[in-house]
Structure 1
Amino acid sequence: MTDTTIREHSNTREHARRQKRKQTSQDDEEQLACPECDGQLVSDEERGETVCVDCGLVVDADEIDRGPEWRAFDSKEKDQKSRVGAPTTKMMHDDGLSTNIGWQNKDAYGRSLSSRQREKMQRLRTWNERFRTRDAKERNLKQALGEIDRMASALGLPKSVRETASVIYRRALDEDLLPGRSIEGVATASLYAAARQAGTPRSLDEINAVSRVDRAEVARTYRYIVRELNLEIQPADPEQYVPRFASDLDISEEAERRARDLLKTAKEQGIHSGKSPVGLAAAAVYAASLLVNEKVTQNTVSEVANISEVTIRNRYHELLEADGHAPD
């Protein structure tokens, strides 16, 4: 191919590019002009519309708002609210900032990986896991937070309680309260404290049923971290247990309300002092169900509340006498 031919081809391609840019520019000008009056078009982001400033014609509607869903009034607030990716969480040892390699051995199109690729991905997962827990503190956190999540799931506690328990455990770890105590014991005590703080308490027996440490160690560790961390935890209110017991027993709202009234009367007369709040709540639910003629046995209430029938009978008589009813 001669130099003249090459220059002709080059000129032809350059001419084609100029024509394409010119056409694009003309198309953009047509888009910016009103099709009715050739007036200027503006975008109304608040209403998601493109309108003509001269005749008011709405050229485009229901536009996608690509901005954030929040408002900021200064640069500092904007920096605090802007975010990318999933929110951070205290329930993970790295606050959820690291990445995970999925366990599915498939590519982006859903096709299965070859054996060589599966081996490579397994090695990457192993090294990724090692890098995520580089020191003893991170390994400690990973084990403890996993234990908190497991127990909270078994007890049906909400995410907010798990977050609070994770923060309590992190504080105990930062203040060097773990030496001489097991990771599982401190994790269980942190969850027990968080549940009481959130107003969704669980009894020590319920906690002990899902924990890997014994009841005495949980109680001892709980008292220790509450004292050392200066946690403000009010004594458990028997009324806080009533909704859960009522839901598990499937009793009516009237019976639940009656149980609350029995407990309020007991507190006014000081009967609740020195007695287990779980036992009082279970006895109140049982007594209330009888007062509204709903058939609930002591054995059923005992299984739901995880306390003995003897305790229910004793508290049941005391509650009815305080309320002015003669027990059967």
Structure 2
Amino acid sequence: MDTKHVDWRSMRDESAPAAGHEARQSGDERDEGETETESAEAAVAERTDLVYDEQHGEWVDPETGEILREDEIDRGPEWRAFDAAERDQKSRVGSPTTTMMHDKGLSTNIGWQNKDAYGNSLSTGQRQKMQRLRTWNERFRTRDSKERNLKQALGEVERMGSALGLPDTVRETASVIYRRALDDDLLPGRSIEGVATAAIYAAARQAGVPRSLDEVRRVSRVDKMELTRTYRYVSRELGLDMKPADPAQYLPRFVSELDVSDDVERRARSLLDNAKRQGIHSGKSPVGLAAAAIYAGALLADEELTQSEVSDVTDISEVTIRNRYRELLEATQKSGERAVGSTA
């Protein structure tokens, strides 16, 4: 049988120039494409009227609707949710860090349900094992006395904030204030509960949702004298910017609890503004002035509201309400505004 010898080396050499030409052509086309892309990106970057679609990662011309760039990286989730419950169910990450926990929520917490992932109860041996794991986990979460101090204090802040109906933002601020006091070594000679109570009182005032000393004292584990003394000390040492309490800041909460109309709140606010212009609010309890203003506002609006009802909600005695009411009446008469009836 005849065989034909093929010189593969020569064939490779002959085809090399053609392959090289194609490679150079492909490289030229790629360079040209990259140049065009860079020019397009530069043109997009120079425009300031483009609208960015975060859901699809696209830059859109608002006039023509043309998508000018769509190569943005979408760093959000790949799923969609239409309410908070669905979002929590689909989320695969933990909660964000928070100053309301001593470890900022970074550690793992072992639950106390004694059930497995399918809801089945654990055996006796498994329950004992989980109990030992919980004990060691708690020990590792609070490694030293400072963390144990912080854990106890932030628990108090959370408890009092919940009892006072304060939002999470106020509790976060109170946690930061306590952390600062702990870092600045302000606790020696003072109780953890006292500093925590002072922090929640200061945070509420800073946020414009103040609570009276009596309200805070009722939910705390310290007396009013210790609360006042500790608050002044912490506020002074940390340099907290604490403006005098405004009686008008108490109005929305008291009006809501007394279930009176917006007209009463409007009239009460007007009475307080007039009193502040004349300076009669200086040196007087802002809660007492707010209580008297609401009572006077109800009289002006012809709504039934007794001093006893106002006293129960505001925790201000009826005697104080009557005294502040007369002072508001005198201030109104001096300013020439419409006088409130003399009924007390």
Q: How many residues are matched? A: 257
User: CA contact under 8 A between 1:93 and 1:138: conserved in structure 2?
Assistant: yes
User: CA contact under 8 A between 2:197 and 2:227: conserved in structure 1?
Assistant: yes
Normalised by the length of structure 2, the TM-score is: 0.72
Q: CA RMSD in A?
A: 2.0
Cα deviation digits, residues 13-57 of structure 1 (max 9, x gap): xxxxxxxxxxxxxxxxxxxxxxxxxxxxxxx99659xxxxxxxxx
State the 1:68 CA deviation.
Answer: 1.3
User: CA contact under 8 A between 2:56 and 2:74: conserved in structure 1?
Assistant: no
State the identity %: 73
Report 1:209-220 matches (<5 A): 209-220=218-229
State the 1:66 CA deviation.
Answer: 7.4
Cα deviation digits, residues 128-176 of structure 1 (max 9, x gap): 0111011000000000000111111111011000000000000000000
Q: 1:320 to 1:46 in 2, by over 3 A?
A: closer
Cα deviation digits, residues 171-209 of structure 1 (max 9, x gap): 000000000000000000011000000000001011111
Structure 1: which 5+ residue stretches go unaligned? Answer: 1-43, 49-64, 70-82
Dislocated runs of 4+, deviation >4 Å:
44-48
Decide which structure has the larger Cα Rg and report it: 2
State how far apart, in whole Å, the 1-side matches of 2:75 and 2:191 are.
48
State how far apart, in whole Å, the 1-side matches of 2:184 and 2:212 are.
27
**Match for residue 4 of structure 1?**
none
State the 1:110 CA deviation.
Answer: 1.3
**Match for residue 198 of structure 2?**
189
Q: 1:46 to 1:229 in 2, by over 3 A?
A: closer
Structure 2: which 5+ residue stretches go unaligned? Answer: 1-52, 58-72, 78-91, 334-338
State how far apart, in whole Å, the 1-side matches of 2:54 and 2:158 are.
43
**Match for residue 342 of structure 2?**
327
State how far apart, in whole Å, the 1-side matches of 2:131 and 2:151 are.
20
**Match for residue 76 of structure 2?**
68
Pick from 204, 207, 210: which aligns with 1:201? 210
Report 1:1-328 matches (<5 A): 47=56, 67-68=75-76, 84-324=93-333, 325=339, 326-328=341-343
Moved more, 105-114 or 195-204: 105-114
State how far apart, in whole Å, the 2-side matches of 1:276 and 1:318 are.
13
State how far apart, in whole Å, the 1-side matches of 2:282 and 2:196 are.
29
Q: Secondary structure at the match of 1:109?
A: coil
State how far apart, in whole Å, the 2-side matches of 1:273 and 1:234 are.
13
State how far apart, in whole Å, the 1-side matches of 2:226 and 2:123 are.
50
User: CA contact under 8 A between 1:239 and 1:281: conserved in structure 2?
Assistant: yes
Moved more, 318-327 or 129-138: 318-327
